[in-house]
Amino acid sequence: MRDQHTNKSGGSVKSAATTTAQTRNREEGTSSRQPPSDSNLRTLQDFKKTLLEEKKTGEETIENLNKKIDDTKKLIDAERINLDELRAKLKVVNEQKDAEFGRFTELKSALVTAREQMKSLDEKASTSRSRKDRYDLVNLNNQLDQIERDIQTKKLSKDEERRLVLKSKEVATKLYSLKAIHKKEDKYRTISIQYDVLKNKMNNLFEQKSELGEGIGKIKSELDELLNLRESLYEDRRKNIRNVREADAKLEMVDTQLNAIQFKRTRASSEQRARRYPRGEGKESRYAASQEKSKRSKENQDRWNILKEAALKKMSGGEKLTFEEMKLIYGENGSVD
């Protein structure tokens, strides 16, 4: 019994192994019998899918770049408007500065002259005995009046009258000098006040000019950055446009090859039907296949000519050619089968 059971188990294992081997052989045979065109078809279809994805991604990137370029252009326009406004303000400030600078120079020169004149008069009057006497106009006026009254009312000897006359002249001279000094001081004070007011105005104008200059410099720096950004976006867009165009050209070539494969399969199917039905139906099928082949050949040739013309135009424009485009130009015409 044990031997019988062992034999049965061994037979089952052997049968299963044989079935598995037969299945594998059938799969391998099917794979080995698979036409090469089917493998090429799958490769081309996968490649076409990849190209379509690349084209879609490139078009979306171009659209985003266009939006960024538009936003950058708006910023550039706004900054240019701000720059023009600041330049207009700076022009007004410069005009005010130029208009006031001549008067400012004149006042400064007049102030120096008045100071020198006042100093000279002060030195001439410095021979008096005290500073208080030099600047006491009221006292000097009273002294002069008193001397003149004494001369007119009192009985004086000739020596006393001569002394009073000399003293009168001395007091009058001092009084004249002090009045001249006070007049120059008033003039100097007036010019000094005007000069200080104009000096503050000029300082404010120079501060405004400095602030406007800094603002203009800052805007010009920001404008340079925006212009560089715009140029970079332009370059990225040009690259993506070239990539999308290359993808379009490759898609046209892939479609041409796919159509060629489809044409071969149709022709093979027609030949099989012709062999299967060698009589009347076969003649009709062969005629239809011939007409279909002629139509496909014409379509393929037209596509080939279009692609070749595009490649020649690209080459004449100095652009880099792909290997497929080189084949289009230097290969044999119509070799799309």
Number of domains comprising the chain: 1
Residue 4 lies in a domain: no
- Structural Rg of the chain based on CA atoms: 56
Q: Summarize pLDDT for 247-303 with one digit per residue, the tens.
A: 999 999 988 888 888 888 888 887 777 777 655 455 566 677 677 778 788 888 888
pLDDT for residue 14: 40
Q: Can you point out the beta strands (E) in 115-185?
A: none
pLDDT for residue 192: 84
Residue 124 lies in a domain: yes
Residue 23 lies in a domain: no
Residue 311 lies in a domain: yes
Residue 267 lies in a domain: yes
pLDDT for residue 284: 62
Residue 192 lies in a domain: yes
Range of the domain at 129: 40-330
CB 144 within 8 A of CB 124: no
Tokens at 303, concatenated: 């596509």
Q: Is the pLDDT of residue 16 over 60?
A: no
Q: Summarize pLDDT for 165-186 with one digit per residue, the tens.
A: 787 777 777 777 777 777 777 7
CATH number, residue 135: 1.10.287.2610
pLDDT for residue 155: 72
Q: Can you point out the beta strands (E) in 34-166?
A: none
Residue 47 lies in a domain: yes
Q: Position of tokens 């003149």?
A: 148
pTM over 0.85? The answer is: no
Residue 20 lies in a domain: no
Task: Quote the percentage of the chain above a pLDDT of 70.
Answer: 74
Residues composing the chain: 337
Q: Is the pLDDT of residue 89 over 50?
A: yes
- Within 8 A by CB and 6+ apart from 169, the residues are none
Q: Summarize pLDDT for 138-166 with one digit per residue, the tens.
A: 676 677 677 777 677 777 677 777 777 78
pLDDT for residue 40: 74
CB half-sphere exposure, 254, CA atoms < 13 A: 19
Residue 41 to residue 261: CA distance in whole angstroms: 7
Supply the mean pLDDT for the chain. Answer: 76
Q: Summarize pLDDT for 33-62 with one digit per residue, the tens.
A: 445 556 778 888 888 899 899 999 999 999
